[in-house]
Amino acid sequence: METLPDGVSAGDVALFQSAVTAQGCSIANDAQAAAVEAATGFDSDKLRAITQYLTLAGQSEPVSTGFRLTSGQCANA
């Protein structure tokens, strides 16, 4: 299990995952990224840390235009 980044709680990760799920399980453009930022209230550094954490934990994967969640409700999306 990956260790959470400094300043990131399990609740932060859950909120982020919920916001990304609401965007169709992936972030592929600026509008989706802005929607996740607005839904979470996190700055870009925190969003980047969470994305990297989820990738290292095997719960998301990079795609050509952004990333896609691969866990939870997005496992088969």
Reported as a single tens digit per residue, the pLDDT across 8-22 is 999 999 999 999 999
Does 5 fall in a domain?
no
Spatial contact of 8 and 56, defined as CB atoms under 8 Å apart: no
**In the chain, how many domains are there?**
1
In a domain, 3, yes or no: no
In a domain? residue 40: yes
Mean pLDDT of 57-72: 93
Query: Cβ neighbours of residue 17 under 8 Å, at least 6 residues apart?
Result: 54, 59, 69, 71, 72, 74
How high does pLDDT run on average in the chain? 94
Q: What is the domain range of residue 32?
A: 10-74
User: Does 1 reside within a domain?
Assistant: no
- Band of the pLDDT at 1, cuts 50, 70, 90? low
Question: What confidence tens digit (pLDDT) does each residue in 36-57 have?
Answer: 999 999 999 999 999 999 999 9
In a domain, 4, yes or no: no
Residue 2 placed within a domain: no
Model-wide pTM > 0.85: yes
